[in-house]
């Protein structure tokens, strides 16, 4: 019971970097969209924001995707209980 509880706590902390990366990704995506929207509202020029979003958003999503792939891949690739 105690071991299970410990494992849950460790899993929670292991999730934190993943949550951090996704927060950054969603935060940056939201920020870029917000600034494009702001420039449209104020009849400003949205092209700079759109140009930057074309670079930044895919980079962040690739980082987050790679991180998630690794996290899931490492968990699935663990030794089976009987092999330990």
Partner 1 sequence: MKDEHFGEDAVVFDPIYKSGKRFYIVLAVLLAIIFLANSMYVRQYLLGLGVTGLNNQAYWGIFMVNFVFWIGISHAGTLISAILRLANAQWRRPVTRMAEVITAIVLMIGGIFPAIHVGRPDRLINLFIYGRYQSPFLWDITAIMTYFTASLTYLFLPMIPDMAMMRDKGTKFKWLYTILAWGYEGTERQKHVLEKAISIMMVLVIPVAVAVHTVIAYLFSMTVLPAWHSTIFGPYFVAGAIFSGTAALIIVMIALRKIYHLESYLKEIHFKHLGTILLIMSLTWAYFTFSEYLTTFYPHEHHEMRVFWYKLTGEYAFYFWGMVVCNLVIPLLFLSFKKDITGVCIASIFVVIGMWLERLNIIIPSLVNPRLPYPTGSYMPSATEILIFVGSFALFCLGYLLYARFFPLITVWEVQEEREHGVEEAKKQMESYLSHPGKA
Q: Tell me: does residue 41 bind partner 1 (CB under 8 A).
A: no
Interface residue with partner 1, options 26, 33, 37, 69 (CB under 8 A): 69
Question: Rounded to an integer, what is the distance from CA 2 to the centroid of its chain?
Answer: 31
Closer residue to partner 1 (CB): 1 or 41? 41
Rounded to whole angstroms, how far apart are CA atoms 19 and 15?
Answer: 6
Q: Tell me: does residue 40 bind partner 1 (CB under 8 A).
A: no
Torsion 79-81-8-68 (CA) sign: positive
Contact 27, 60 (CB under 8 A): no
Binding site for partner 1 (CB under 8 A): 10, 13-14, 17, 21, 24, 28, 31-32, 35-36, 38-39, 44-45, 48-49, 51-52, 55-56, 59-60, 62-63, 66-67, 69-71, 73-79
């Amino acid at each position: 019971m105690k071991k299970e509880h410990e494992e849950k706590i460790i899993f929670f902390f292991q999730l934190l970097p993943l949550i951090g990366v996704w927060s950054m990704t969603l935060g940056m995506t939201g920020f870029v969209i917000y600034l494009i929207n702001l420039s449209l509202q104020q009849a400003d020029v949205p092209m700079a924001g759109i140009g930057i979003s074309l670079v930044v958003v895919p980079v962040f999503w690739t980082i987050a995707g790679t991180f998630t792939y690794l996290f899931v891949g490492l968990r699935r690739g663990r030794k089976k209980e009987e092999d330990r």
